[in-house]
A and B are shown apart, each in its own frame.
Chain A
Amino acid sequence: MGDTPARSALLALVPLFLSSCLSVTWEHHRRHAPLPEGALEQLRVDRSDLTLVLAACGAPLRVWELPAGETAIAYGWYRERQLGAQISVPLFDRFSGSFSFDDFDVDLFGVVLTFDAFHRLRRLRRGYLRDLVTEPARRRPSFVATDSPRSSQRERRRAGSPPSGMVAAR
């Protein structure tokens, strides 16, 4: 008989625990590896070139074109460890959430390096890539005239197929 209050309390708590009202989460998420230690210290703006950067830092996450013949490359990584608790009370209809794993949608920290047309390092910036990378992830290709020997050969092979004398470029 003495156990009745405790049993009642337990029975009352079980539905609360089993409902999805209360959740405690401990999570660790990691995406990509940071740059090797000392890699950035080897680099010198206006002196280092793309060969040295690739040797020191490895392959970037992203490469894109900038105006005036410049090229930018980005390295990024993400690591988060968090402990959280959540209490939710559904008052209205549920909503659908979505989570994207696109590289630049998450809080990737990293560096963006900019090179001139001769592959010489011109700028090095650190921070969150979402702040550093202002260009869209992909741009629609456009057509520009070209007269490079290789593309001219390609175009000759494609003789008659429009648009003649053009190649896709950003």
Chain B
Amino acid sequence: MRHLLSILLLALLSSSCFVSRDRVNEPLSQPLVLDLEPGVSSGDDVLDALGAPADVVQLGRRSAWLYLFTQTKSAAFSVLVLTLMNTDTRSDRVWVFFDEAGTLTHVGGSFDGAETAYDMPWSAVE
């Protein structure tokens, strides 16, 4: 019994855990993106609504801007030689496409950043 208690105490003292969250940029606002109108909105309208883009891609004489928010949540637990670890990374992304005259032609958005979760490896994170 004493040995069992010793082993349990050793395991307890040897265990460690951590959780961490890593965020890049600020979450994107879906209503602001929905206000943008292809064929009507200009680059200035997009700048007013969403601010400075994270990336600008030149497509010939057209261009596309990326707005990005990324969130990563990590959780780990370690005892003696066993380590359990989970990382989950999701993002809010918005791409806006402009024609040669700088008028908005297409908008695409994905808003998954808020769904990032802390979890353990056996969990079914969807």
Contacts and interface: CB of A to CB of B under 8 A. Distances in A.
A6 interface: yes
Contacts of A61: 93
Contacts of B125: 28, 30
Contact of A59 (B85, B109, B120): B109
A89 interface: no
A117 B97 CA distance: 13
Interface stretch (A18-26, A90-98, A124-132, A155-163): A18-26
Contacts of A150: 100-102
B106 A169 contact: no
Contacts of A5: none
A54 B80 contact: no
Contact of A18 (B3, B80, B82, B102): B80
Interface residues of B, number: 47
Tell me whether chain B's interface is mostly helix, strand or loop, or mixed: strand
A71 to B, nearest CB: 5
Contact of A26 (B58, B89, B107, B121): B121
Given A14-B10, A64-B57, A71-B59, A58 B110 contact: yes
Contact of A50 (B93, B97, B115): B97
Interface string B92-126: 01110100111001111110100100011111010
Contacts of A149: 101
B83 A170 contact: no
Contact of B81 (A7, A24, A33, A64): A24
A27 interface: yes
A169 B95 contact: no
A54 B106 contact: yes
Given A14-B10, A29-B87, A30-B87, A59 B94 contact: yes
Contacts of A71: 59
Contact of A33 (B3, B6, B83, B112): B112
A26 B85 contact: yes
A31 B81 CA distance: 26
A7 B4 CA distance: 11
A6 B2 CA distance: 12
A63 B64 contact: yes
A58 B28 CA distance: 14
Interface in B54-79: 57-61, 64, 66, 72
**6 shortest interchain CB distances as A-B pairs:** A54-B108, A58-B110, A59-B93, A28-B121, A59-B108, A59-B110
Given A17-B80, A28-B120, A148-B61, 10 more contacts: A14-B10, A27-B85, A51-B38, A63-B64, A81-B121, A119-B106, A150-B101, A168-B58, A169-B58, A170-B57
